[in-house]
Amino acid sequence: MLYALDHAGQKINASPKAHGVCPFCQEKVIAKCGEIKIWHWAHTAKTECDAWKEHETAWHLDWKAHFPARYTEVAIVRNGEKHIADVCLPGNFVIEFQHSPISVEQIRSRENFYQDMLWVFDVQEAFKDQRLFVYEKTEIPCKDSRYADFIQFVDIAYWKHSRTSLSLVKKEHLLNLYDDILFNVLWHDKKYTKIAGETIRQHVFIDALYNQHILGQMTFS
């Protein structure tokens, strides 16, 4: 996790010799300050306090670091059930970053719990291996998309040996192809091998969310 709580209950970043507790289970956490991953916190035991949380890779931590602390690692409680959203923007709009393969049951559970949400899936390995590639530029205009002001036409991608569980994702989702390049999925076939969408950069994605969910919530008098 990116943040722990100090003795005053304030969110703090990891740093050498820093002390903190987990904001969710209140157990002591250790500051991990290496040279590869973003500095972060880890539980002393090798278990997470939220069963939905996977072991966080550098990819996961890097993504969360692009959002302000107040919107990152937010506890959400519904009907006595508690989970930690990677990012929760104003209006309870949740963003989940998923690196590992995920089952259909897990997809349904998270979508039912968070309700208003989108996914970002890490597919960089498939893209690097050329099992996933954008192979066709169309002249189909992009409409009814939060990125329509930035993207003109729909692209077509093909994914050999795809993650078929993604075919049952009901919420908006994007594929992180490589570095800061994303593919916003607009349509896919039943096996998730042929995919239509918009190729966008990370800053466009973040700016669009900021404009809609943060600036859009502001009132001026």
- The string of DSSP codes covering 3-53 is EEE-TTS-EEE--TT--EE-TTT--EEEEE--SSSPPEEEESSS--SSTTP
138 and 194 fall within a common domain: yes
- Cβ within 8 Å of residue 142, ≥6 positions away: 148, 151, 152, 153, 154, 186, 198
74 and 115 fall within a common domain: yes
5 and 80 fall within a common domain: no
Q: Which two tokens stand for residue 130?
A: 């050329």
2 and 14 fall within a common domain: yes
Contact at 8 Å (CB) between 151 and 198? yes
pTM of the model: 0.85
pLDDT at 147 over 60: yes
124 and 193 fall within a common domain: yes
173 and 86 fall within a common domain: yes
Residue-wise pLDDT tens digits, 12-29: 888 898 888 888 888 888
Contact at 8 Å (CB) between 192 and 161? no
Confidence band for 151, pLDDT divided at 50, 70 and 90? low
User: What pLDDT score was predicted for residue 88?
Assistant: 96
26 and 112 fall within a common domain: no
Distance CA 176, CA 184 (A): 9
54 and 15 fall within a common domain: no
Domain tally, the chain: 2
40 and 89 fall within a common domain: no
Contact at 8 Å (CB) between 157 and 197? yes
Range of the domain at 127: 50-217
